[in-house]
Structure 1
Amino acid sequence: MAEYVYREAKGKPGAPLLVVFHGTGGDENQFFDLGSELLAGGRIVAPRGNVSEGGALRYFRRTGEGRYDMADLALRTAQMAQFVRARVAEDRPAQVMGLGYSNGANILASVLFAAPELFDAAVLMHPLIPFEPPAAGGLTGRRVLLTAGRRDPIAPAAATDKLADYFIRQGAAAELFWHDGGHELRAEEMRETQRFIAAATNMGA
Structure 2
Amino acid sequence: MADHGYVHKLRASKPGKAILFVLHGTGGDENQFFGFGAELLPEATIVSPRGDVSEHGAARFFRRTGEGVYDMADLARATDKMASFVKALAAEHDASEIIGLGYSNGANILANVLIEDGVFDRAVLMHPLIPFRPKDHAALAGRKVLITAGERDPICPAPLTQALVVYFKAQNAEVDLEWHSGGHDIRQNEIAAIERFLKA
TM-score of Structure 1 vs Structure 2, range by shorter chain: over 0.9
Any idea what the Cα deviations from partners look like across 1:127-146, whole Å, max 9, x if unmatched? 00001101111000000000
**Counterpart mapping for 1:8-47 below 5 A:** 8-47=10-49
Report the more deviating stretch, 7-16 or 31-40.
Answer: 7-16
SS at match of 1:63: strand
Any idea what the Cα deviations from partners look like across 1:149-168, whole Å, max 9, x if unmatched? 00000000000000000000
Partner of 2:107: 105
Contact 1:2/1:79 (CA < 8 Å) preserved in 2?
Answer: no
Provide the identity percentage.
57
Matched residue type, 1:146: I
Unmatched 5+ residue regions in structure 1? 200-205
TM-score by length of 2: 0.97
Partner of 2:88: 86
Contact 2:4/2:88 (CA < 8 Å) preserved in 1?
Answer: no
TM-score by length of 1: 0.95
SS at match of 2:51: coil
CA distance in 2, matches of 1:75, 1:182: 29
CA distance in 1, matches of 2:175, 2:90: 23
SS at match of 1:148: strand
The reply on whether 1:133 has 2:134 as its aligned counterpart is yes
State the Cα RMSD in Å.
1.0
Matched residue type, 2:149: A
Partner of 2:163: 162
Report how many residues are paired.
Answer: 198
Matched residue type, 1:126: H
CA distance in 1, matches of 2:88, 2:176: 29
The reply on whether 1:144 has 2:177 as its aligned counterpart is no
SS at match of 1:20: strand
SS at match of 2:128: coil
Any idea what the Cα deviations from partners look like across 1:12-50, whole Å, max 9, x if unmatched? 221100000000000000000000011011100001000
CA distance in 2, matches of 1:137, 1:92: 25
Contact 2:150/2:181 (CA < 8 Å) preserved in 1?
Answer: yes
Any idea what the Cα deviations from partners look like across 1:92-130, whole Å, max 9, x if unmatched? 2111100000000000000001111x1110000000000
The reply on whether 1:181 has 2:182 as its aligned counterpart is yes
After superposing on structure 2, the runs of 4+ consecutive aligned residues of structure 1 that deviate more than 4 Å are none
